[in-house]
Amino acid sequence: MIESVRAYIKTIAEFMLFLIIIRMLATEKSRKYINFASGIILVLIAASPIMEIIGMPPETIMNNILNAAGIYSEYNEDFSLGETENALMPVFKANVEKSIQADIEGLGIICLNVDCGVSDDFERTGGIESVTAIIEGQSGGDEAENFIKRKYGVENVNIIYQ
């Protein structure tokens, strides 16, 4: 029991020492953010014995806070898109397709439809992987293809003449 109290006091003292050093190095603009973050951490440290008594370890509470804030924590290994990102992906894709269609029509080419493949991979979320455009007539496809490759950085561009 005495060892756990010593460890608790030692943790608070170490955090306060760390906080003093950080506050000395901080700029005037960043002090309010440091004060806010350190206040939350200090409350969690101070409440850790109570949380252990009620059966919820502080690591679980901190993990829940970080996940709710959208910050990756070391305890979270799930890199999949959340509900918000999945809901916004079709909107993003539609806007990209409209933009590409407007760009093609800006070249003087009649564009009937654009379909693009958008990545949902964690490293490239929102990256355009492929573009398929249906244009009217038999000319202008090469110009549109080169323009899309240059502007959007897409290697896989397919132009269909109709």
Classified as helix, coil or strand, 72 is coil
39 versus 48: which is more confidently predicted? 39
Q: Tell me, what's the pLDDT at 61?
A: 64
* Mean pLDDT confidence for 59-82: 56
In tens, the pLDDT along 129-162 reads 889 999 988 888 888 888 888 888 888 898 988 8
In tens, the pLDDT along 103-112 reads 899 888 899 9
Give the integer Cα–Cα distance in Å for 104 and 149: 12
Q: Tell me, what's the pLDDT at 154?
A: 85
Q: Tell me, what's the pLDDT at 75?
A: 42
In tens, the pLDDT along 9-37 reads 898 899 899 988 888 888 888 888 888 88
Q: Tell me, what's the pLDDT at 126?
A: 62
Q: Tell me, what's the pLDDT at 76?
A: 43
Q: Tell me, what's the pLDDT at 133?
A: 92
- Measured between alpha carbons, how far is residue 58 from residues 14, 43, 50, 136, 137 in Å? 17, 11, 9, 62, 65
The winner for highest mean pLDDT among 10-14, 49-53, 59-63, 87-91 is: 10-14
In tens, the pLDDT along 79-104 reads 444 554 556 678 778 888 898 999 89
For 157, the enclosing helix (H) or strand (E) is strand 156-161
- Measured between alpha carbons, how far is residue 115 from residues 81, 87, 108, 120, 158 in Å? 22, 18, 19, 16, 10
